[in-house]
Amino acid sequence: MRGPVAWWNDPWRPPRILVAVTFGYLAWSLIPVLIAVIFSFNDGRSRTVWQGFSTRWYFGDPVKSVWHDAALHTALLQTLKLGVITTLITVPLGVMFAIGIDRWRGRLPAGANLLMLVSFVLPEVLLAVALLFVVTSLPLPIKLGTEAQVLGLVTFQIAYPAVLVRARLATIGTQYEEAAMDLGASPLAALRRVTLPMLLPAIFASTVLVFADVIDDFVLVRYLSGNSSTEPVSVKIYNTARAAPTPALNALATLLLFAALLAITVGYLVYRRMTRGDNTAAGGIAAFAGEA
Amino acid sequence: MAQRLACLQGWGILTPVVLTEVAAQAKPQSKRARGSALGPALAVPGIIWLLLFFLAPLYVVLAIVFGRTDPIFRTAVPVWNPLQWNPSQVNYVLSRIVGDNGIFGPALLRTAIYVLLAGLLCLLLAFPVAYYVARLSGRWKGLLLAALIAPFWISYMMRMLAWVNLLQDDGLVNRLFSLGGFFDVRTHWLTGQPVVVVLGLVYGYVAYMILPLYAGLDRLPQSTLEAARDLGASRFASFWRVTLPMCRPTIVAAVLLTCLPMLGDYFTSDMLSASPKTAMVGNLINDSVQSPGQTGQAGALVMLVLLVAVVPMFYYVRVTARGDAAS
């Protein structure tokens, strides 16, 4: 048996302390969530004492389960609705913005690009308060609720696809498109048949990321939600977590968690398939994690 | 939220984009930029959107902060002409930070302490984890990385809800501390415990720090570290004098990316303590946004947070730009 000093000085010893810290951290970060998921299957009302397995809080309970309680499933539907609508508007808008800015020189596009970057780094609460003021104190036809939420989310997310697509455009370079145009393609045809297919992985990645980010959003959607029927899951959790909720709340959060994990897993697998054999796009899980 | 910034920093994207911008402005017009209305046509919808729903609302905030309050309905009345702006709301907020009627002072001080403490704890936790996964984990790297980014896809509110459950008076934490009923532990964790709020902030934000640190440590040249050891530096010395200086820009960026969003955070404190004893500046903003007649104050507080955040933000952009140019 060697002494602790010899152990410490051994240059080949395995990094046991770092392993302990890392796995301790992982346990600490994931086990609480796992426990919350487990308690969504609890048979009783308690979120702290295990009373047997059941799916009562998902659909079994005729009044308080997610399936039957209108307040809970509207929240889930509202979250998914916001995610889909926002993604459908944001991604085309952001991709067009990125391509347009990339091939337009001058002060105006430079200013627009700066504006986009500022919208990217500004704290969310500032945009939320600003839009709340606009909607509530100006005579506009926009009301609090889904429309205001979508407006705010699109504004907040538009920089995401724009930044990703611009980064991809920078790695692709101009040579492929110029070759296409030298061979007789019009600018529009070169864009459609050469650049766009090369941009597809970035566009797809930003679609997944925008969707996942929107269904996790809290600050914007809370200020811009009109009444309880437009409150998405995150707001519902915030409102009821401290007011003696049932495990149905855990069930609601679990459903959202699975929706997000499903989107990310499918997204990652498709992304990997798309970029297979393409060494200009960074591959592997690290790349998707980095973007993610 | 913090998430996407940390992500892109993790990928090292933001700086290349900023740098490309600078380079592009200096470059002569390339072939595809010439004589085509395609660029403007594609960019205009996005520009209009940003002008209408991003720039214009910021002006509305200024107009309300420097505007009047309706004396009867207590609603905010925006004043559009900057020449008629009235700084009384800002003065009201500023005069209540220090001194006898400093009702905002304690919360501001508390925010600073909580954020610094949580940032420091995050760094102490995130650095070893990122170091291990980036440099020593070998074939487990992919799996560990997936586990590290899992919190990104779990809603922030869900993660706070998990702790609300655990920290109940009869929750698992108290039962764990009582060692199976041996001690009688009846700590009320969820009623204004600063420790719980700080740990909640760490729990919520530490993942956003690990990813940028991971990306930075992953890019460190192995040969330089080996050279340090070959030339006789001890393990500690090579870490202190080679590794740490080389990832200083990464550390600065990671700390800023984690701490700046904490400045506007009110939901962590609301979920885990819900007590004015642990109110942060975000709670002041949130409370005054929702009470009539205090809209202007909310705007003024938001501006205050923004001013505090702007300087580190520029510092961050400069440090990362320099770090990328050096590597």
Judge whether B94 is closer than 8 Å to chain A, CB to CB: no
Measured in angstroms, the CA of B195 and the nearest CA of chain A are apart by 16
B239 versus A66: the higher-pLDDT residue is B239
Is residue A201's pLDDT more than 70?
A: yes
Tell me if B212 sits within 8 A of B10, measured CB to CB: yes
Flag if A155 and B171 touch (Cβ within 8 Å): no
Q: Which of residues 97-116 of B touch A (CB under 8 A)?
A: none
What local confidence, expressed as pLDDT, does residue B24 receive?
A: 52
Flag if A158 and B43 touch (Cβ within 8 Å): no
Q: How confident is the model at residue A133 (pLDDT cuts 50, 70, 90)?
A: confident
Is residue A235's pLDDT more than 80?
A: yes
Instruction: Over range A54-82, report the average pLDDT.
Output: 80
Residue of B nearest to A256 (CA): B155
Instruction: Identify the CATH number of the domain defined by range B92-326.
Output: 1.10.3720.10
Flag if B151 and A218 touch (Cβ within 8 Å): no
Is residue A13's pLDDT more than 90?
A: no
Flag if A160 and B4 touch (Cβ within 8 Å): yes
Query: Among A35, A101, A217, whose Cβ lies nearest the Cβ of B172?
Result: A35
Q: Which of residues 225-244 of B touch A (CB under 8 A)?
A: 235
Instruction: Over range B254-264, report the average pLDDT.
Output: 83
Q: Which of A27-31, B55-59, B80-84 has the lowest mean pLDDT?
A: B80-84
Contacts of A155 (CB under 8 A, 6+ apart): A119, A127, A131, B49, B50, B53, B54
* Averaged pLDDT score across all residues of chain A: 81
What local confidence, expressed as pLDDT, does residue B181 receive?
A: 62
Residue of A nearest to B148 (CA): A26
Contact list in A for residue B283 (CB cut-off 8 A) is: none
A33 versus B102: the higher-pLDDT residue is A33
Q: Which of A73-87, A177-191, A225-239, A269-283 has the lowest mean pLDDT?
A: A269-283
Q: Which of residues 249-268 of B touch A (CB under 8 A)?
A: 260-261, 263-264, 267
What local confidence, expressed as pLDDT, does residue B214 receive?
A: 86
Judge whether B55 is closer than 8 Å to chain A, CB to CB: yes
Contact pairs from chain A to chain B, CB under 8 Å: 321
Query: Among A96, A129, A190, whose Cβ lies nearest the Cβ of B46?
Result: A96
Judge whether B11 is closer than 8 Å to chain A, CB to CB: yes
Query: Among A115, A130, A292, whose Cβ lies nearest the Cβ of B60?
Result: A130
Is residue B21's pLDDT more than 60?
A: no
Query: Among A39, A48, A257, whose Cβ lies nearest the Cβ of B158?
Result: A257
What local confidence, expressed as pLDDT, does residue A200 receive?
A: 86
What local confidence, expressed as pLDDT, does residue A287 receive?
A: 45
Contacts of B175 (CB under 8 A, 6+ apart): none
Q: Which two tokens stand for residue B116?
A: 């610094």
Query: Among A19, A94, A102, whose Cβ lies nearest the Cβ of B46?
Result: A94
- Give exposure, B294-321, as e/b (b: 16+ Cβ within 10 Å): bbbbbbbbbbbbbeebeebbeebbebbb
Instruction: Over range A67-80, report the average pLDDT.
Output: 83
What local confidence, expressed as pLDDT, does residue A283 receive?
A: 43
Measured in angstroms, the CA of B122 and the nearest CA of chain A are apart by 11
Query: Which of helix, strand or coil describes residue A183?
Result: coil
What local confidence, expressed as pLDDT, does residue B310 receive?
A: 78
What local confidence, expressed as pLDDT, does residue A48 receive?
A: 72
Give the distance, in angstroms, between the CA of residue B300 and the centroid of all CA atoms in the same chain: 20
What local confidence, expressed as pLDDT, does residue A288 receive?
A: 47
Phi-psi region of A282 (alpha: psi -120 to 50; beta: other; left: phi over 0): beta
* Averaged pLDDT score across all residues of chain B: 77
Query: Among A178, A219, A287, whose Cβ lies nearest the Cβ of B32?
Result: A178
Is residue B38's pLDDT more than 70?
A: yes
Measured in angstroms, the CA of B45 and the nearest CA of chain A are apart by 7
* Interface confidence (ipTM) of the complex: 0.81
Contact list in B for residue A264 (CB cut-off 8 A) is: 153
B263 versus B318: the higher-pLDDT residue is B263
What local confidence, expressed as pLDDT, does residue B243 receive?
A: 85
What local confidence, expressed as pLDDT, does residue A87 receive?
A: 92
What local confidence, expressed as pLDDT, does residue A286 receive?
A: 41
Q: Which of A203-212, A221-230, B260-269, B314-323 has the lowest mean pLDDT?
A: B314-323
Instruction: Over range B46-59, report the average pLDDT.
Output: 87
Highest mean pLDDT: which range of A71-75, B127-131, B250-254:
B127-131
Q: How confident is the model at residue A90 (pLDDT cuts 50, 70, 90)?
A: very high
What local confidence, expressed as pLDDT, does residue B117 receive?
A: 93
Flag if B289 and A261 touch (Cβ within 8 Å): no
What local confidence, expressed as pLDDT, does residue B125 receive?
A: 92
Q: Model's pTM, two decimal places?
A: 0.82
Flag if B153 and A261 touch (Cβ within 8 Å): yes
What local confidence, expressed as pLDDT, does residue A280 receive?
A: 52
Query: Among A151, A234, A284, whose Cβ lies nearest the Cβ of B157?
Result: A234
Is residue B3's pLDDT more than 60?
A: no
What local confidence, expressed as pLDDT, does residue A86 receive?
A: 92
Instruction: Over range A35-61, report the average pLDDT.
Output: 78
Flag if A223 and B152 touch (Cβ within 8 Å): no
What local confidence, expressed as pLDDT, does residue B5 receive?
A: 58
Q: How confident is the model at residue B323 (pLDDT cuts 50, 70, 90)?
A: low
pLDDT tens readout for residues B161-192:
888 888 877 777 777 777 766 666 667 777 87
Q: Which two tokens stand for residue B269?
A: 């404190």
The structure tokens 């922030």 sit at B156
Measured in angstroms, the CA of A1 and the nearest CA of chain B are apart by 23
pLDDT above 90 covers a percentage of chain B that reads 6
Is residue B217's pLDDT more than 60?
A: yes
Flag if B46 and A116 touch (Cβ within 8 Å): yes
Phi, psi of B233 (to 5 degrees): -75, 140
Span between the terminal Cα atoms of chain B, in Å:
29
Is residue A260's pLDDT more than 90?
A: no
Contact list in A for residue B153 (CB cut-off 8 A) is: 212, 216, 257, 260-261, 264, 292
pLDDT above 90 covers a percentage of chain A that reads 6
